[in-house]
Amino acid sequence: MHAEKALETIRLLADGVDPATGEVFPEDSPYHQPDVIRALHSAAGALQDAARKERKRARKPGNQGKPWTTEAEEMLLREFDEGRSMAELASKFGRSLLAIEVKLHKLGRDPDQIERARPSRRPGPPNEVDDSFVGEVFRHKPKWKA
């Protein structure tokens, strides 16, 4: 049974509802006793926390927290030297961008080197601004009344 389905079942029981039929349990049912209801809500909370942690863990890179092998370090250096982007390296090695950057520093490489080595997608110097429209904007003076 998946955690979500189990959580739904426990919540229904805590509400005094039979999960199989949807009918309310009779008043003399144990599911109407305060201690049982509190225990079921506590169990639902714990199950919800576990499901949240599992979803968070699933979003993390696959190799997070695992030690680097010598082969992986050598491959990282080779691919870095070939000019792969940080995002490509992080994806390939199952690590975060920060983990890749830190490992490269430890191995004596400068991660910023990748960005400097790649040509810019925009022509001209990076700080060049096209200001040809400025004259057009200020040619039409507003007619304000004082």
DSSP letters for the chain: --HHHHHHHHHHHHTTB-TTT-PBPPTTSGGGSHHHHHHHHHHHHHHHHHHHHHHHHHHS-TTTTPPPPHHHHHHHHHHHHTT--HHHHHHHHT--HHHHHHHHHHTT--THHHHHHSPPSSSS-TT----HHHHHHHHS------
Among residues 33, 59, 85, the one where a domain terminates is: 59
The pLDDT assigned to 101 comes to: 92
Q: Which domain holds residue 94?
A: 70-117
End-to-end Cα spacing for the chain: 75
The pLDDT assigned to 126 comes to: 52
> What is this structure's pTM?
0.43
pLDDT in single tens digits along all 146 residues of the chain: 677 888 899 999 999 999 999 999 999 999 889 999 999 999 999 888 887 887 777 777 778 889 999 999 999 999 999 988 899 999 899 998 899 999 999 999 887 765 544 444 444 555 555 555 555 555 555 565 55
Query: Is 52 inside any structural domain?
Result: yes
Q: Are residues 55 and 83 in the same domain?
A: no
Query: Is 24 inside any structural domain?
Result: yes
Query: Is 145 inside any structural domain?
Result: no
d(CA 101, CA 86): 8
The pLDDT assigned to 1 comes to: 63
The pLDDT assigned to 67 comes to: 93
Query: Is 122 inside any structural domain?
Result: no
Q: Are residues 9 and 50 in the same domain?
A: yes
Query: Is 140 inside any structural domain?
Result: no
Query: Is 65 inside any structural domain?
Result: no
Q: What is the number of structural domains in the chain?
A: 2
Query: Is 55 inside any structural domain?
Result: yes
